[in-house]
Chains A and B, each alone.
Chain A
Amino acid sequence: MASVAELKDNHAKATAEVNSLRERLRKRRQMLLDTDVERYSKAQGRAPVSFNPTDLVCCRTLQGHSGKVYSLDWTPEKNWIVSASQDGRLIVWNALTSQKTHAIKLHCPWVMTCAFAPNGQSVACGGLDSACSIFNLNSQADRDGNLPVSRMLTGHKGYVSSCQYVPDQETHLITSSGDQTCILWDVTTAQRISIFGGEFPSGHTGDVLSLSINSSNTNMFVSGSCDATVRLWDTRIASRAVRTYHGHEGDINSVKFFPDSQRFGTGSDDGTCRLFDMRTGHQLQVYSREPDRNDNELPTVTSIAFSISGRLLFAGYSNGDCYVWDTLLAEVVLNLGTLQNSHEGRISCLGLSSDGSALCTGSWDKNLKIWAFSGHRKIV
């Protein structure tokens, strides 16, 4: 039997081999980065996006939360939004009329994420209780006027940072957690179907903060983590990540698939957003802010969303900015944070309506706002 000393020696050699392979991968990938989206698009002479000052306006302010808004999600159809707040409640809004249709008091007020079921009949939320709670919006309120929990998804060993229903599958939901794993759940039985990461190699080595499911191939999803990587998972193969994406230098707070489902965007504590190619693993573009003139610390990216074509990338930052990036030319074309009637605090969450006609932003100022295009639209 190998002695402990021999095992330690083998361990050191294996560590050195892994580090060497990682370095070779990094160098090989660097050689394949012959251009990026910005240089390619400019060489092709693509016309920039140009907004007039009153093109994108705040057309609704949804007031009702008494604490910071942390998360929001639209229904796939209709104009409903669910939001989660530090006040320990979920609110369901009709975004068109600004009407509140439900206010759900949560058992655990430390909520971090919420999501709408594909049929719009249920909402899910999770947070520091390490569980994901499901509420059926059609169920009867109790004597205190509170909606009962219809299912509790328990099993994570850390906080639930993000949750998303699998598109077109009312019964499946994926969560990400501070325990470094993601879980695919059967909502009907409240059972874990698969665990991604944790015991197996190729899992995240830090808290998982965000996830995004591929709408064209719902077996695939990506997760962003405090280990500064994004990992691609196939829900049918939980034992290993399909691919790991390197580049960021800080926690990845937000990850979203690009509308063509072949790429995804990220937002990080390193202050940048990035665009990655899912299939090849290439980093296609970095979206970096100009450094602050006063040399203040670079604001972090809290949340991102793409417009329905992918031409615009909306990015919320910790200093209250909400940049609108032209994704092809890598230029900031608007800052919603400085427009009239904008939020008075950090924008913590963003989401597009399903037809792409409206952006909803949620903020630490306790409000949600709806933004839409009110200018002259030229159809080509």
Chain B
Amino acid sequence: MQAGSGGGGGDAGDTRGRHRIRAELKKLEQEARFLEEELEELEKTDKVSAALQELVVTTESKADPLLPVTPGPACQSWDRWFEGPQDLRRCKCWFL
């Protein structure tokens, strides 16, 4: 593409191209600023190991009905899936 202001029919194409490139440039400059901010924040961020103690403790301290070994309190309703017959009389099984 010709540098500088062109003459004749080339002008409209140049203007559109200029607008488009300027918009993309703006986006890139904004993204660079975001990345610089993230880099600054990362300088103050702890290593992975710092967060893991909390993760392990909270995971192991919560009651979980799907685990064979779990802290309590247990809840009777956990076993409702195995209590009594399913209400088959009202179950209108049909295929669509």
How many residues in B have their beta carbons less than 8 Å from beta carbons of A?
Answer: 66
A119 interface contact, C-beta 8 A: no
Is the CB–CB distance between B95 and A284 below 8 Å? Answer: no
A138 interface contact, C-beta 8 A: no
Is the CB–CB distance between A64 and B32 below 8 Å? Answer: no
Is the CB–CB distance between B3 and A4 below 8 Å? Answer: yes
B38 contact set on A, CB distance < 8 A: 25, 243
Is the CB–CB distance between B51 and A284 below 8 Å? Answer: yes
Is the CB–CB distance between A201 and B71 below 8 Å? Answer: no
Which residues of A341-358 are within 8 A (CB) of B? 355-358
A87 interface contact, C-beta 8 A: yes
Is the CB–CB distance between A97 and B31 below 8 Å? Answer: no
Give the shortest distance, in Å, between A16 (CB) and chain B (any CB): 10
Give the shortest distance, in Å, between A304 (CB) and chain B (any CB): 15
Is the CB–CB distance between B96 and A89 below 8 Å? Answer: yes
Is the CB–CB distance between A307 and B48 below 8 Å? Answer: no
Is the CB–CB distance between B39 and A28 below 8 Å? Answer: yes
Which residues of A299-332 are within 8 A (CB) of B? 307-312, 327-328
Answer whether A202 and B65 are a contact pair too, CB < 8 Å, given A25-B42, A46-B56, A379-B70.
no
A96 contact set on B, CB distance < 8 A: 80-81, 86
Interface segment out of the listed A7-15, A151-159, A178-186 = A7-15
Give the docked Cα–Cα distance between A355 and B54 (Å).
23
Contact of B18 among A4, A37, A328, A373 (CB under 8 A): A4
B62 contact set on A, CB distance < 8 A: 259, 308-310
Give the docked Cα–Cα distance between A20 and B47 (Å).
22
Answer whether A377 and B70 are a contact pair too, CB < 8 Å, given A4-B18, A36-B48, A312-B64.
yes
A137 interface contact, C-beta 8 A: no
Interface centre among A34, A99, A280, A377 (most CB of B within 10 A): A377
A281 contact set on B, CB distance < 8 A: 42, 45
Is the CB–CB distance between A377 and B68 below 8 Å? Answer: yes
Give the shortest distance, in Å, between A83 (CB) and chain B (any CB): 12
A51 contact set on B, CB distance < 8 A: 68
Give the docked Cα–Cα distance between A356 and B35 (Å).
39
Answer whether A373 and B66 are a contact pair too, CB < 8 Å, given A64-B94, A97-B90, A201-B34.
yes
Task: Look across to chain B and name the residue whose beta carbon is closest to the beta carbon of A260.
Answer: B58
Contact of A44 among B4, B56, B82 (CB under 8 A): B56
Give the shortest distance, in Å, between B65 (CB) and chain A (any CB): 4
Give the docked Cα–Cα distance between A87 and B94 (Å).
14
Per-residue 0/1 for B57-77: is the Cβ within 8 Å of any A Cβ (1 yes, 0 no)? 011101111111111111101
Answer whether A7 and B82 are a contact pair too, CB < 8 Å, given A97-B91, A356-B64.
no
Task: Look across to chain B and name the residue whose beta carbon is closest to the beta carbon of A371.
Answer: B66
Is the CB–CB distance between B81 and A59 below 8 Å? Answer: yes
Give the docked Cα–Cα distance between A240 and B39 (Å).
16
Give the docked Cα–Cα distance between A55 and B52 (Å).
29
Is the CB–CB distance between B81 and A379 below 8 Å? Answer: no
A359 interface contact, C-beta 8 A: yes
Interface centre among A49, A307, A312, A373 (most CB of B within 10 A): A373
Answer whether A18 and B35 are a contact pair too, CB < 8 Å, given A64-B94, A66-B95.
yes
Is the CB–CB distance between A56 and B66 below 8 Å? Answer: yes
A282 contact set on B, CB distance < 8 A: 45, 48, 51
Give the docked Cα–Cα distance between A34 and B21 (Å).
42
Give the docked Cα–Cα distance between A359 and B78 (Å).
12
Given A32-B46, A373-B65, output 7 extra A-B contacts at Cβ < 8 Å: A33-B48, A65-B96, A98-B93, A260-B55, A308-B66, A355-B65, A357-B65
Give A residues with C-beta under 8 Å from B: 1-8, 10-11, 14-15, 17-18, 21-22, 24-25, 28-29, 32-37, 40-41, 44, 46-47, 49-52, 55-56, 59-60, 63-66, 87, 89, 96-100, 103, 201-202, 240, 243, 259-260, 262-263, 277, 280-282, 284, 307-312, 327-328, 355-359, 370, 372-380
Q: Jot down 18 A-B pairs with beta carbons below 8 A, ordered by A.
A: A1-B5, A4-B17, A4-B18, A5-B1, A28-B42, A35-B48, A36-B48, A46-B56, A59-B81, A97-B91, A98-B91, A98-B93, A282-B48, A309-B60, A357-B65, A357-B75, A377-B67, A379-B71
